[in-house]
Amino acid sequence: MIPIDSIVELASRLVATPSCAGIDAPQPVLSLVQSWLANNGLAPRLLDDPSGKPVAVLVEMPGAAPGPVLCLDACIDTAPAGDPGQWSAPPFSGAVRDGRLFGRGAADSKAGVAILAHVARHFAGSGLPRGALHVLFDADEHTGRFGGVRAYLDAAGRPPDAASLGYPGNEGVVAGSRGFLRARLRFAGVAAHSGDSERRGVNALTKAAAFTLKLGEPVFPDLPDAAFPFGPAATVTHIEGGQGFSVVPDLAVCHVDIRLTRTFDAAAATRWLEGIVRAVDGQTGIEIVDSWPAYVVPRDDRLVRSFTEAASTAFGRPFAADVCGPSNIGNLLAARGVPTVCAPGVSFGNMHAADEWAHIASIGPVYAMYCEAALRFLSRP
């Protein structure tokens, strides 16, 4: 029997415990789920980042025989709530009405946390045939630091053999995503008084604008990747420079986000970016801030088959594996050699917006899918 009422009750309590990334301390929401797990017969561990700040809760359940390790992960921090006046109910009310759970994080991803906590309770009672199941709740996901997953990889000793991510949405099983390269560009100018009739200076923002216009219609090298038919992308996401009204800016800084495929990788993207920058200003400095590779888990991989088959059974409709444009924790895990899927999650609306909600009727199929997928993965030789 699927414990819908218990899952909704825990999810509502989680929503009512604010955990907005970079705003709220993670300890209260981590303590809540840690206490719930302990009260239900499990032995959760609190994981800290290198500074000693708690960033995750981990439950480890060994099977009856040696075998692979599967990690089920969901983030327990959230996006900011924004203006409470735009919500029909307080953003941390955890209200249930019209078959929906409302509040910041209801969809992304506290419903998923509540589901996985109950999946852990289920297997603590029923046992596992072999291998081990790890259930992880990351309180540092929406910051982009992914401190919970990093703390888990450090604490685990060796990476798991596979992982799933508990994001919302159930259109399919996401078995890959584009990577990214993020760069910071510094365009130099020459300061001058903006009203000077003779010494005009060199406006760094003009260079930044010229670069931005070039990136507005990017021409990428012909490096097709069949897994990513939509190809790479490049976006200027931030420009800063200048002060006041009367000074010609002598520095402009651009942030650039480039989405990678397996063929248009970080090295190819760096060369491409350097060529565009040289065409604007050969003296501009390029700082590579971070990069993750694109990844694809083959459709015949045991992890992918376990989740597509289990999802098809639980939801009563066919599920296929696909890739997505945005990156996720799967890119970080794939870089560590861990095949990762984004598993189907709850139906939802208004994610990261006012009146975020999760559809309660979708909780049952998601719970059943996880229980079945974990068994399929851990039972197969």
Which tens digits make up the pLDDT trace of 188-215? 999 999 988 888 899 999 999 999 999 9
Any idea which fold 4-177+295-379 has? Aminopeptidase (3.40.630)
| pLDDT of the residue at 198 | 80
Average pLDDT (11-16) is 99
Tell me the C-alpha distance between 6 and 25, whole Å: 26
Average pLDDT (1-12) is 98
- Please write down the long-range contacts of 224-230, taking CB distance under 8 Å and 24 or more positions apart: 224/263, 225/261, 225/262, 225/263, 225/264, 225/294, 227/176, 227/261, 227/262, 227/296, 227/323, 228/178, 228/261, 228/262, 228/294, 228/323, 230/325
Tokens 């003009």 correspond to 206
| Residue 243, pLDDT above cutoff 70 | yes
CA 92 to chain CA mean position, Å: 22
| pLDDT of the residue at 157 | 85
| Strand partners of residue 165 | 73, 342
List CB contacts of 272: < 8 A, sequence separation 6 or more: 220, 221, 264
| pLDDT of the residue at 199 | 80
| Residue 144, pLDDT above cutoff 90 | no
| Residue 39, pLDDT above cutoff 90 | yes
Tell me the C-alpha distance between 100 and 221, whole Å: 46
Contact 139, 76 (CB under 8 A): yes
Does CATH number 3.30.70.360 belong to domain 179-292? yes
pLDDT band at 381 (very low <50, low <70, confident <90, very high): low
| Residue 326, pLDDT above cutoff 90 | no
Tens of pLDDT, residue by residue over 355-370, are 999 999 999 999 999 9
| Strand partners of residue 187 | 252
| Residue 257, pLDDT above cutoff 70 | yes
| Residue 34, pLDDT above cutoff 90 | yes
Tell me the C-alpha distance between 260 and 239, whole Å: 22
Q: Coil, strand, or helix at residue 369? A: helix
| pLDDT of the residue at 16 | 98
Instruction: Order the strands of the 251-260 sheet from edge to edge.
Output: 233-241, 251-260, 179-188, 285-292
Tell me the C-alpha distance between 336 and 330, whole Å: 10
Buried/exposed code over 329-345 (b: 16+ C-beta within 10 A; e: otherwise) = bbbbbbeeebbbbbbbb
* DSSP H helices in the chain: 4-15, 27-39, 111-126, 147-156, 204-216, 266-280, 302-315, 329-335, 363-379
Tens of pLDDT, residue by residue over 282-312, are 999 999 999 999 999 999 999 999 999 999 9
| Sequential DSSP letters for 6-70 | HHHHHHHHHHTS--BTTTS-SHHHHHHHHHHHHHTT---EEEE-TTS-EEEEEEEEE-SS---EE
Tell me the C-alpha distance between 117 and 136, whole Å: 9
| pLDDT of the residue at 191 | 93
| Residue 142, pLDDT above cutoff 70 | yes
Q: Across all residues in the chain, what is the average pLDDT?
A: 96
End-to-end Cα distance, the chain? 28
| Residue 151, pLDDT above cutoff 80 | yes
Diameter over CA atoms, the chain: 83
Structural domain spans, the chain: 4-177+295-379, 179-292
Interior CA angle at 156 toward 151 and 157, to 5°? 110
Of 76-80, 113-117, 325-329, 370-374, the range with the lowest mean pLDDT is 325-329
| Residue 240, pLDDT above cutoff 80 | yes
- Percent of residues, the chain, with pLDDT higher than 90: 93
| pLDDT of the residue at 65 | 95
Average pLDDT (36-42) is 98
Contact 281, 204 (CB under 8 A): no
Average pLDDT (328-354) is 95
pTM above 0.95, yes or no: no
pLDDT band at 353 (very low <50, low <70, confident <90, very high): very high
